[in-house]
Structure 1
Amino acid sequence: MSDTLLFGHDGLARAIAVAFRAAGTPDDTALAIADMLVDANLSGHDSHGIQMVKYYLDCQAQGGLDAHATPRVFDESGAVVRIDGGRGFGAVTGAFAMQHGIANARKNGVALVALANSHHLGRIGRWAELCLESGMVSVHFVNVWGHRPLVAPWGGRKIRLGTNPICAGMPATANHPAFVLDFATSRVAFGKVGVAFDKGEVLPEGVMMDRDGAMTRDPGAMVDNEDGGALIAMGEHKGSGLAVLCDLLAGVLTGNGVGTPERQDGDTTINGMLSFVIDPDALGGFAAMESEIEALYDWVRSSLTAEGHDAILLAGDPERIAREDRMAHGIPLAAAAWEGFIEAAMLQGVTREALEQAVSSS
């Protein structure tokens, strides 16, 4: 078997939905999960794509999430919307939260959406992109508990923090695509460690330490060792501080809770997300802002490139480039990642033949 396989996005989504239906996930939810995961693969973020299927199915089987949960608004006052995700799949809770945030922002000019008790929300850029489809600006802070921490605080060598992502989106202008900034507050997301492990690759320098605090490029130091290793915060004290900020905003303000020791042994992922959704019409209208936005982008892109770089990229550009390529040529998956997915689906009673038929159907 080749080390890398190519899949069409529609077929991959069908196969993922088959696996979740077999596990007893409602059809609409299975389709939403498949769409979210394949969208991550299309965007070039394989760490948040099909690789997550086994983990999601394990969480569902072990009671770490509720496949039948219905998120609910339990408090709405003015611009503030508070939502309990019921430990439901993030593909459902994230969409629900953004739909309410967009509607509230249309009414009030701005919405503050506090989502608590959601299972893994996936690639957070997806939720900014959902806001962008309605012409909204958005900013998102996310925290996590339910499993061991993954990141050492600045100056430390023991895991204490989550990878706690931050995201922001600004709509496209006439001459420039949308700006979507989406980053973990660690130097890499933990899922990228898993991708490197599946591919038999080493990590970049300076992103992870082993259990003794020595820098390592071996992804197995965390993947193979439950008690070993720690990711490094991005930007030294800055990333560490932003990770704590995410816990304060997405954990404390939303009511989701933070990842202190008593919440670390559930072998699940519980996300809180605090989102600001802003209607540009409340601030004079987006059309009045476009010339300033375009002038900024043009100025930034006009820089001469540094050695090793072919172009100046803005946030969202790498995902667009990946999407165009993968829509045209297919989604590349490590053979180990595909086999891992098949094994997870077979545990739900799905045959290899059914999965291969799903990905090959036109």
Structure 2
Amino acid sequence: MRISAETEREFLQAVFKAQHFSDQDGALLADTLVDADLRGISSHGIQRLAWYTRMIKDHTLEPEQQPKILKESSTSLLIDANKSMGQIASAFTMNKLIAKAKQSSIAMAVIRNSNHFGTAGYYSRMAAKQGLIGISTTNTRPLVVPTNSLEAFLGSNALAFTFPADPHPFVFDGATAVVSSGKIQVLAKKGEQIPGDWAVDENRHVLHDAKTVEDNLAKIAFSEERPGGGVLTLGGQDEVNSNYKGFGNSLIIELLTGILAQGSLSADTNTGKHDFSQFFMVIDPAFFGDLDVLKANVTNMFDRIRHLKHLPGTKIMIPGDREYKHYDENLVQGVSIDEATLDEMRAVGDEFGVTVPSEASVED
């Protein structure tokens, strides 16, 4: 099923308005979800709407509250998201950091009392659009089993890094685990199997049934019940494949977010405050040399990599290439929405008196 990006945006803005977000905040939230769907990152697109709605109902987030600056210097910020939506606090923070980095060459911030912020790349791309380097990270619900562990402790702990380049900025945006939970959610909704070794059970045996894994992750992430199993770190199941390096990457994000913000560890976000923390950094590369020369050098490096000898029938893609290709295609053909997510949209729309896109506006 496909629906135009503009139709999706209008539906989301109407829902967020009915949920008492301001017009400005609702537009931002809608943009982050539509942007994810356009880039083919459906795990962080409109399929998150039902979850956001549940968080409003249980007061994990408060639509009318705004982030607060707790501490500020010329190069740093400490922000209290104040239980506002993670996207709202993150965009607010990144705009502040961009202005600071243009004056001081570098700026960083930590956000506490936040929640899910969508795709990390959305905020790093804000910096890239201004010719700056952007770094965005977050901790999450407990999902990830450390090396040799039988139970989850870490979050999928996303990291995004952007660098100015042509024809589009370099964008690395991904979990520091094998996969984000959202991708498993999408497979479960579609009734599909997990294609790789992404998740394990309580005995650390690999599972491939997405519904089984999603049910287990929901118990881990959203209740005080802590069954074993979870998502694997980068490197997969075994130490011989260096999964301890993925473990280390996840820990770095945990230190920069939950620890530095003096908030909850990913392991504890399913109880108590239910808060996430975020870390952002913006760097002005022009401090180190002419920006046009730097961009040309980066672009040249990527072009050389793209044209290396490669396996027949394959293509070498730089991080970000695939997402920009999806973006251009989906602007024309519409974004893909699975039937389960469409049912959730109908339920949310009925609850808040918002007309859901009709079958006539959805193409097979």
TM-score, L = length of structure 2: 0.90
Task: Give the structure 1 partner of residue 357 of structure 2.
Answer: 356
Residues 18 and 355 in structure 1, CA contact (< 8 A), matched pair in contact too? no
Instruction: Compute the displacement of 1:234 (Å).
Output: 1.1
Residue number among 134, 145, 153 corresponding to 1:160 in the alignment: 153
Task: Give the structure 1 partner of residue 304 of structure 2.
Answer: 299
Task: Give the structure 2 partner of residue 221 of structure 1.
Answer: 212
Cα distance per residue 1:200-247 (max 9 Å; x no partner): 110122101123321111112232242464111112111111111111
User: Is 1:169 matched with 2:162?
Assistant: yes
User: Is 1:130 matched with 2:126?
Assistant: yes
Task: Give the structure 1 partner of residue 250 of structure 2.
Answer: 243
Task: Give the structure 2 partner of residue 338 of structure 1.
Answer: 342
Cα distance per residue 1:158-216 (max 9 Å; x no partner): 1111000111000123xx42100011011111000110011111012210112332111
**One-letter code aligned to 1:244:** L
Give the Cα separation in 2 of the matches to 1:359 and 1:99: 39
Instruction: Compute the displacement of 1:307 (Å).
Output: 4.7
SS in 2 for 1:347: helix
SS in 2 for 1:220: helix
Residues 20 and 57 in structure 1, CA contact (< 8 A), matched pair in contact too? no
Task: Give the structure 2 partner of residue 83 of structure 1.
Answer: 79
User: Is 1:178 matched with 2:185?
Assistant: no
Structure 1, 252-261 or 214-223: larger mean CA deviation: 252-261
Give the Cα separation in 2 of the matches to 1:317 and 1:208: 27
User: Is 1:17 matched with 2:21?
Assistant: no
Task: Give the structure 1 partner of residue 282 of structure 2.
Answer: 277
Task: List gaps (5 residues or longer) in structure 2.
Answer: 220-226, 236-242
Cα distance per residue 1:242-264 (max 9 Å; x no partner): 11111111122233332344x42
Give the Cα separation in 2 of the matches to 1:284 and 1:138: 17
Structure 1, 322-331 or 220-229: larger mean CA deviation: 220-229
User: Is 1:231 matched with 2:231?
Assistant: yes
SS in 1 for 2:118: coil
User: Is 1:327 matched with 2:351?
Assistant: no
SS in 1 for 2:280: strand
Task: List gaps (5 residues or longer) in structure 1.
Answer: none
Q: What is the aligned length?
A: 346
Residues 61 and 84 in structure 2, CA contact (< 8 A), matched pair in contact too? yes
Task: Give the structure 1 partner of residue 182 of structure 2.
Answer: 191
Residue number among 277, 285, 292 corresponding to 1:287 in the alignment: 292
Give the Cα separation in 2 of the matches to 1:347 and 1:65: 18
Give the Cα separation in 2 of the matches to 1:215 and 1:298: 38
Instruction: Compute the displacement of 1:330 (Å).
Output: 0.7
Give the Cα separation in 2 of the matches to 1:197 and 1:129: 30
Task: Give the structure 2 partner of residue 102 of structure 1.
Answer: 98
SS in 2 for 1:289: helix
**What percentage of aligned pairs have identical amino acids?**
26
SS in 2 for 1:87: coil
**One-letter code aligned to 2:246:** G
Could you say if the C-alpha distance between residues 177 and 25 of structure 1 is closer, same or farther in structure 2, counting changes exceeding 3 Å?
A: closer
Task: Give the structure 1 partner of residue 271 of structure 2.
Answer: 265
Instruction: Compute the displacement of 1:344 (Å).
Output: 2.7
Give the Cα separation in 1 of the matches to 2:312 and 2:259: 43
**One-letter code aligned to 1:12:** E
Task: Give the structure 2 partner of residue 150 of structure 1.
Answer: 143
Shift >6 Å, 4+ stretches: none
**One-letter code aligned to 2:136:** H
**One-letter code aligned to 1:294:** T
Give the Cα separation in 2 of the matches to 1:338 and 1:265: 30
